[in-house]
Amino acid sequence: MSTARTQTRAIEPWTELLDAARGGESLVGESFEWERAARTTPIPEELHPDLAAALRAAGVNELYEHQLEALEAAWRGPAITTTGTASGKSLCFNLPALDVLLRDGKARALYLYPTKALAQDQARAIAGLALGDRVRPAIYDGDTPREARGQIRKRSNLILTNPDMLHVGILPNHAMWGELFANLAVVVVDEAHVYRGVFGSHVANVLRRLRRIAGAYGTEPRFLLTSATIANPVELAERLTGLAPVALVDRDGSPSAGRRIAIWNPPITDEALGIRRSALSEGAELLASLVGAGARTICFVRSRKGVELLTRLVTLELERRGTPELAERIAPYRAGYTPAQRREIEGRLTAGELVAVVTTDALELGIDVGALDAAMVVSFPGTIASLRQMWGRAGRRRRGLALYVASEDALDQFFARHVEDFLERPVESAILDHESEEIHLAHLLCAAHEGPLSADDAEWFGPRTLAYLERLEGLGELRACDGRWVLRRRERYPAAELSLRSSSPDSYAIVEGATGEVIGVTEAARAFSTVHEGAVYLHQARPYRVLELDIDARRAIVEPFDGDWYTQPKRETETLIERLLDRREALGVTLSFGRVLVTETVLAYQRKRIGDHEEIDLVALELPPTRFATQALWFELDAGVLEGFPPELLLGSLHAAEHAQIAVLPLLAMCDRWDIGGLSTNAHPQTGGPTIFIHDGHPGGVGITRLAFAQFETLVEDAHRLIGECTCADGCPSCVQSPKCGNLNEPLSKLGAQELLARLRRANNSRPLAGLRGRGVARDLPN
């Protein structure tokens, strides 16, 4: 499919804006992605004729090549599709799944979605295919009325649900779902990249339980996954499902708009402190210009507070420019809208009544606005994978502008200085660990409830199953009987006590005081630092203030919060090495990976103003210490590396280097810096010398620091560049200061850390230590 080139150079709504900015200090990078024509192929003869007819009736007369490839892959075995935003990924699993349902009247399919909104969209799309009553989709989630549930179980042959419901509602009651499990042909896992970290480690266990129960009913369903672009799609699919090999479909045959990419860094307003104009103010001005030029724009902001602020700022800016009427054509968009409200916004946007929506990435999870002229992302959304997904919205009428406005955060500024790196850097890996101990053991109990376990269940849960079963027996949770393990009698079934969003069954409920509604849970190990009395707690980008933390009842009472401050806890941390799992020489230091015991005492919290991070006050707290075991890497700096290093700067240098490494770790593994913790000390009792620890922030750990151990050289290089290139004098939030430092960023030496990391990079003698490689060679360190 080729199209004639237009004779004259098209003037895009953003041409003027970019032309004016070129040569200035804010437009720090530009790039262009060429338009790509579709590669299509006829609908294959082998597809069920009724499905082919339904596609044609819906206006689909050809398939993109990747859709055919996905269909053929699905016929052979498990597969994952990772093509771009709006590339018709749904057909990649709908074609094989619906084909099976049409051919076999008894067959069943199960679709898993991370959110209810996405499940609703998919149900609507399937219903739109007009396949009559041979395909009977139904949503089964927490909102499904009780009286409708029995009918759905009996009648529907395509169940759309979420992993939480599968875990707590469907698997434990599999006897009621016998029809589904005995005929389960296809399991679809859409948006699989969402299943990473703690959540992913849980879902990997839930899917193994699903395969086990299906096996007990005599079926072996075909798993079909999709994901945004990530560095390790096949590995993710294999870790999630426990199946291998999983086929990869990633050659995108869909057409793609030509896209101009512009990277924007707000100007410096205070040279000495290195302070820049806020990304929100800058974003508001850019949005006003785009809207003024008639560009239909979607603007992504990280928090709900940010959405409100930016919407208010852009209104003021439009008034200032003498076009206040435009403000009415910009809508803020939040999660939590009903399907009807979402459809209304979509409709107004499509009709051109609205020119812009401002949203958190909630929109990625549940609104379908199609392509727009411009997609603007204000501050780094956490991963390049999600940034690219957001940018993918730009490209109506074959051309689009993808804009990114950097905030002052360390990663944002790192990217603003390395635009090429940013645009070409391979996307991150999605990491999970189904054997993360606390998570895994808890799911074995759930599995025992679903049916007695035996050594044969290693087929589903992995080679350590027997050892774990014996351990659970030792803990009094399971009872052994003739080579089978059954659950001991308990009050509630285990799944009812286990949240998939928390790494430990021991958790605190977050309860909204006025309504009594449970809005979330947090792990006990993190409760004191996140929901202590007075804490401002963010839930789905929305702020709440903690009124009371009830330790005995394991709950925090909160209220919606509208103030202009946030809180940062002051903590005392100790790290004890429990088990050394791996060790190597790297960059002149001894680098170790293992299991550590982290003890934390939250002493106080600081209130800080949102606008300028100015401290308001410090409030003391009285809380007992908490302790959790997790994974960590640590490295010891010996006398050689430290020769001539000023001793009074050592602690501040270690601390600043640790912060910088934590700041850049999300470049390697898809995680948030809040998922990682650290400790620096100039004399650790076990290593006997100056040591930096970087540990997983969740009990048990989910493999993030294992990856950092393997890629330590990259981690040091990125951290060194982060610090060395920041123009501030003594350290700022864009380099060594951390918004989550338990010591409130004291002491920090930017220059010392720069020197330290430079010395590591010069040493460059990485090699494995003979005989200590690999996962199986654990040994205990002397205390």
Site of interaction with Zn ion (CB under 5 A): 726, 728, 732, 734-735, 741, 743
Least distance (Å) between residue 782 CB and Zn ion:
28
CB of 743 or CB of 766, closer to Zn ion: 743
Minimum distance, C-beta of residue 598 to Zn ion, in the bound complex (Å): 14
Asked if the peptide bond before residue 768 counts as cis, ω within 30 degrees of 0, the response is no
Minimum CB distance to Zn ion smaller for 673 or for 706: 673
Helix (H, G, I), strand (E, B) or coil at 59: coil
Give every CB contact of residue 494 below 8 A, 6+ residues apart in sequence.
442, 445, 446, 448, 449, 487
The DSSP-derived string for 379-391 is: S--S-HHHHHHHH
Considering the complex, state which of residue 692 and residue 726 has its C-beta at the smaller distance from Zn ion.
726
What is the DSSP secondary-structure string of 460-524? HH-TTHHHHHHHHHHTTSEEEETTEEEEPP-SS-GGGG--TTSSSS-EEEEEETTT--EEEEEEH
Cα(74)–Cα(246) distance, integer angstroms:
10
- How far apart are CB 235 and Zn ion at their closest, in Å? 32
Q: Which one, 281 or 743, has the nearer CB to Zn ion? A: 743
Which of 431, 676 has the CB closer to Zn ion?
Answer: 676
Is residue 53 classed as helix, strand or coil in its secondary structure? helix
Question: CB of residue 420 vs Zn ion: minimum separation in angstroms?
Answer: 21
CB of 419 to Zn ion, least distance (A): 19
Q: What is the dihedral of CA 452, 454, 459, 461, to 10 degrees?
A: 70
Could you tell me the sign of the dihedral formed by the alpha carbons of 97, 101, 107, 110, in that order? positive
Nearer to Zn ion, 239 or 750 (CB): 750
Residue pair 363/375 in contact by the 8 Å Cβ criterion: no
| Sheet order of strands, 222-226 included | 137-139, 158-161, 108-112, 184-189, 222-226, 79-81, 247-249
Residue 137's DSSP bridge partners are 158
| C-beta of 20 vs 729, nearer to Zn ion | 729
Please report, in angstroms and rounded to a whole number, the separation of the first and last CA atoms in the chain. Answer: 69
In the complex, the smallest distance separating the C-beta of residue 744 from Zn ion, rounded to whole angstroms, is 8
DSSP structure string for 544-596: EEEEEEETTTTEEEEEE---SEEEEEEEEEEEEEEEEEEEEEETTEEEEEEEE
- List, in sequence order, the alpha helices (H) in 22-137: 49-57, 65-76, 89-103, 116-127
**Exposed / middle / buried, residue 280 (Cβ in 10 Å: 0-12, 13-18, 19+):** buried
Least distance CB 659 / Zn ion (angstroms): 6
Least distance from Zn ion to the Cβ atom of residue 694, Å: 11
**73 versus 410: smaller Cβ distance to Zn ion:** 410
The answer to whether residues 406 and 415 touch, using CB atoms and an 8 Å cutoff, is yes
Whole-angstrom distance, CA of residue 738 vs CA of residue 745: 7
State the nearest-atom distance from the C-beta of 563 to Zn ion, in Å. 25
Q: How far apart are CA 286 and CA 264, in angstroms?
A: 10
Give min distance, CB of 618 to Zn ion, in A. 16
Among 464, 460, 432, smallest CA distance to 447 is for 460
Of 123 and 751, CB closest to Zn ion: 751
Q: How many CA atoms lie within 13 A of 84 on its CB side?
A: 19
31 or 743: CB nearest Zn ion = 743
CB closer to Zn ion out of 222 and 740: 740
CB closer to Zn ion out of 623 and 748: 748
Placement of tokens 């959405």 in the chain: 307
Question: In the complex, what is the shortest distance from the CB of residue 183 to Zn ion, in angstroms, rounded to a whole number?
Answer: 55
